[in-house]
């Protein structure tokens, strides 16, 4: 991976409030998850430990992304509890950075959360999904007809609509994200 000046990318990013204000698609879902999220005492103990590291974070995202509608508010709230300041960059406007953090080396899947120390050195990366959310979407996609089927596009739209609805309302799914991020931050 090429040397990345994470500090300059961080400086370029929006705050969470600015990101939400600019949203055109999933603002309601982001707000619902953010306002509905709660942490256990065990979570809070981990976030307090993470706070001692003086980390910051860069988030590659886009407001049309269903995964971002879940993960952005969850990780934002974790960051607030962990005293990690996050800055948001829109994926398609920042492909030079995005292409350094491809999922499986090929996919510009988002959101991606890049945690850095005060010097700008990358310490951890998380995203785009918890393993359980990946299993959920993989299972839902497996029910789709062949890509050349006449009803594929309509059925695919329905799958993604249902997926977004489920992940932004089911608190058990939110918990999988908390646990996955917690494991990454503790690692």
User: Is 35 contained in some domain?
Assistant: yes
Measured between alpha carbons, how far is 78 from 43 in angstroms, rounded to an integer? Answer: 9
User: Is 91 contained in some domain?
Assistant: yes
User: Is 134 contained in some domain?
Assistant: no
Q: What percent of the chain has pLDDT over 90?
A: 96
Please give the mean pLDDT across all residues of the chain.
95
User: Is 142 contained in some domain?
Assistant: no
User: Is 93 contained in some domain?
Assistant: yes
**How far, in whole angstroms, is CA 96 from its chain's centroid?**
19
User: Is 40 contained in some domain?
Assistant: yes
Query: Over 70: is that where the pLDDT of 2 sits?
Result: no
Task: Read off the pLDDT of residues 36-55 as tens digits, 9 standing for 90 and up.
Answer: 999 999 999 999 999 999 99
Measured between alpha carbons, how far is 160 from 48 in angstroms, rounded to an integer? Answer: 35
Task: Read off the pLDDT of residues 53-69 as tens digits, 9 standing for 90 and up.
Answer: 999 999 999 999 999 99
Rounded to two decimals, the pTM is 0.94
Provide the CATH number for the domain around residue 119: 3.40.30.10
- How much is the pLDDT for 3? 78
Query: Over 70: is that where the pLDDT of 27 sits?
Result: yes
Provide DSSP, 16-43. Answer: HHHHHHH-SSSHHHHHHHHHH----HHH
With both helix axes pointing from N to C terminus, report the angle between 152-167 and 131-141 in degrees, rounded to the nearest 10: 150
User: Is 13 contained in some domain?
Assistant: yes
Task: Read off the pLDDT of residues 95-123 as tens digits, 9 standing for 90 and up.
Answer: 999 999 999 889 999 999 999 999 999 99
3-state secondary structure of 159: helix
User: Is 140 contained in some domain?
Assistant: no
Query: Over 80: is that where the pLDDT of 85 sits?
Result: yes
Domain of 182, in residue numbers: 6-129+171-186
Looking at the structure of the chain, the number of domains it has is 1
């Amino acid at each position: 991976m090429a040397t990345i000046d994470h500090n300059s990318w961080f400086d370029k990013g929006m705050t969470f409030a600015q990101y939400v204000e600019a949203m055109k698609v999933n603002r309601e879902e982001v707000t619902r998850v953010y306002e509905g999220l709660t942490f256990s005492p065990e979570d809070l103990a981990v976030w307090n430990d993470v706070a001692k590291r003086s980390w910051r974070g860069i988030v590659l995202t886009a407001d049309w992304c269903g995964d971002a509608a879940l993960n952005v508010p969850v990780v934002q709230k974790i960051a607030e509890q962990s005293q990690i300041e996050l800055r948001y960059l829109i994926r398609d406007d920042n492909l030079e950075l995005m292409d350094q953090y491809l999922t499986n080396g090929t996919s510009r899947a988002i959101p991606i959360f890049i945690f850095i120390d005060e010097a700008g050195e990358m310490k951890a990366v998380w995203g785009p999904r918890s393993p359980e959310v990946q299993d959920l979407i993989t299972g839902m996609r497996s029910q789709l007809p062949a890509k050349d089927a006449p009803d594929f596009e309509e059925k695919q739209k329905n799958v993604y609509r249902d997926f977004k609805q489920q992940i932004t309302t089911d608190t058990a799914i939110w918990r999988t994200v908390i646990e996955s991020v917690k494991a990454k931050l503790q690692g």
